[in-house]
Chain A
Amino acid sequence: MTLSVAISHAQGGFTLDAAFECGAGVTALFGRSGAGKTTLINAIAGLAQPREGRIVFDGETLFDSARGINVRAGLRRFGYVFQEGRLFPHLTVRQNLTYSHWFDRTLYSETDLAHVVELLGIGELLQRRPAQLSGGEKQRVAIGRALLAKPRLLLLDEPLASLDAPRKEEILRYLRVLRDDTRIPMVYVSHAVEEVLQLADHVVLLAAGRVAASGDVAQLMGRPDLMPSGGLFEGGAVIEAHVAGIDAEDGLAMLAFDGGTLTVGNFGAQMGERVRVRIRAREVSLALAPPQKISIQNILRGTITAIDAQQGSNVTVTLSAGAAVLRARVTRRAAGQLALAPGMPVYALIKAVSLDRHGGLIK
């Protein structure tokens, strides 16, 4: 599947001028509020008509201003999960779930309904009205409703934004199951790094209505140059690893990746499970020799590939450890004292406790 979007749109003082392509898996449209994410996803859905451009899905032109083509939302077969659920208040949960079948009887399937109900754990709710549901339940029903329209692509516009932290976790868990179970390609709008890291395969970075960068999540989300002053998240590196060992006695998990092994507090890991770990640059120290008698559990060997000195008194040192990339932010003075230079072998020191769930260890 390929979705290719190239549109421009003006609204008030804001101009959106974005072009990107995405394929199978989960593509995150990532950027701060006002970057044009929602305008973009609404244009893909057919809810907003851009001033000009083209939107093509698998060779089918859905919008083309030059040729006057604009396929209406209902015929695009894209599911849409909104931030606030938008369940129909006059219908029961069951009727909400099967709403799309009123317009296309061929979509109706009792097995599909049973499957989606089980997948999302909403069996108990079928006879209720939306007014009697909690925020998390509403969002699960909204996801189910979109799925039962058998979408070719699922659009999600900050589906967790109106939920509290525990509900966020809950819905994220369902979204991960969905991603792995249904294999429906998704476009996921978010301004939260954690969500993007947990769900997405690709990311399209939007800033002020333009695509600032796009690519693989692990490569892109670590690059500090992409948002130096953005404050969207602190720069660092994202490492793809798998759970290679669990020390039940000490409550630790060992994560193997191309550049070595990371020891972290056990987060309920399963052996062999794939995880992404975000390591903030400011939590990485550097040493020229492997230190002795030190509490730090993670000492990784790498080679300096670049030193960027744009951040005032600090420098960001990029190192490669195997195929993986790590970043360390140290003071300019420290870099001078150690005479750091590209090509030098160094040891990166990372405290195991800095990699807890909130510190950036991502399941």
Chain B
Amino acid sequence: MLSREEIDIILLSLKVALWSVAISLPFALLLAHVLARHEFPGKSLLDAIVHLPLVLPPVVVGYALLLLLGRRGPLGGLLEEWFGIVIAFRWTGAAVACAVMGLPLMVRAMRLSIEAIDPKLDAAARTLGAGRIGVFLTVTLPLALPGIITGVLLSFARSLGEFGATITFVSSIPGETQTLPLAIYALTQVPGGDDAALRLCVLSVLLSLGALLVSEVLVRRASRRVLGYDAVGRD
């Protein structure tokens, strides 16, 4: 049914997408919380920067990552020197590229759900002994859970489809950085690759659809658990 290569491509794509979510999740939560709950000078600038990957051509993001995190880049050089980590032209680099591209989607969903929490509940929690972290863990996090799940799955699905930033930053190396969309593109560039490309396209559609359906189910379940009623479809 599926060839060895096709399975490898899917597994690589899933690995890259999962890691991209893992990398961006803590940053996204922090950014969402800061943007939702704090007022400070430069807030709109931070907001704009977070949203940049959504509006920039992906190739620009990929190139910026290459300049920054490539072996000769300022950050990439430090990473290699201090930790011996190289991410340019590795699958880890693909995960980083996807993480950056998915970040705005994640932050957006989480920020909305944190903003929807009544700040008066924070005050109530503080009078009952909760500190800043206590409030975040026992009030913000559980009440924002539906938004967090939505953000995670949106960015996961986005990672499965990421193309421009990935190919610019880590190129298209079969077995290392060639995720599903990159493999499809490669196949369409060789004569007689159309059938194989079409098979991968169908797989891609099924994977993304699956991710969205899982998201829907999880969000419903979370909001029922969290709020005692089904919040999906409500304003």
Residue numbers of A with Cβ under 8 A of B are 45-47, 72-75, 78-80, 82, 84, 86, 88-90, 99-100, 102-104, 129, 131-132, 145-146, 149
Which B residue's beta carbon lies closest to that of A132? B228
Interface contact B127-A90, CB-CB below 8 Å: no
Which A residue's beta carbon lies closest to that of B135? A74
Interface contact A104-B127, CB-CB below 8 Å: no
Interchain CA distance A88-B123 in the complex, whole Å: 11
Partner of A100, one of B123, B129, B139, B143: B129
- Contacting residues, chain A, for B226 (C-beta < 8 A): 89-90
**CB contact under 8 A between A84 and B120, given known A90-B142, A90-B226, A102-B134:** yes
* Chief secondary structure at chain B's binding surface: helix
Answer whether residue B128 sits at the interface, using C-beta atoms and an 8 A cutoff.
Answer: yes
Answer whether residue B74 sits at the interface, using C-beta atoms and an 8 A cutoff.
Answer: no
Answer whether residue B125 sits at the interface, using C-beta atoms and an 8 A cutoff.
Answer: yes
Answer whether residue B131 sits at the interface, using C-beta atoms and an 8 A cutoff.
Answer: yes
Interface contact A99-B128, CB-CB below 8 Å: yes
Interchain CA distance A79-B126 in the complex, whole Å: 10
Answer whether residue B198 sits at the interface, using C-beta atoms and an 8 A cutoff.
Answer: no
**CB contact under 8 A between A99 and B125, given known A90-B142, A90-B227:** yes
| Nearest CB in chain B: distance from A43 CB, A | 13
Residue numbers of B with Cβ under 8 A of A are 118, 120-121, 123-131, 134, 138-139, 142-143, 225-229
Partner of A86, one of B120, B129, B131, B142: B120
Interface contact B128-A72, CB-CB below 8 Å: no
- Contacting residues, chain B, for A46 (C-beta < 8 A): 126-127
Interchain CA distance A245-B127 in the complex, whole Å: 46
Interchain CA distance A112-B118 in the complex, whole Å: 29
- Contacting residues, chain B, for A80 (C-beta < 8 A): 124, 127
Partner of B130, one of A74, A84, A86, A145: A74
Interface contact B228-A131, CB-CB below 8 Å: yes
Interface contact A145-B131, CB-CB below 8 Å: no
Which B residue's beta carbon lies closest to that of A103? B129
- Contacting residues, chain A, for B128 (C-beta < 8 A): 74, 99-100, 103, 145-146, 149
| Nearest CB in chain A: distance from B139 CB, A | 7
Which B residue's beta carbon lies closest to that of A92? B228
| Nearest CB in chain B: distance from A344 CB, A | 55
| Nearest CB in chain A: distance from B224 CB, A | 11
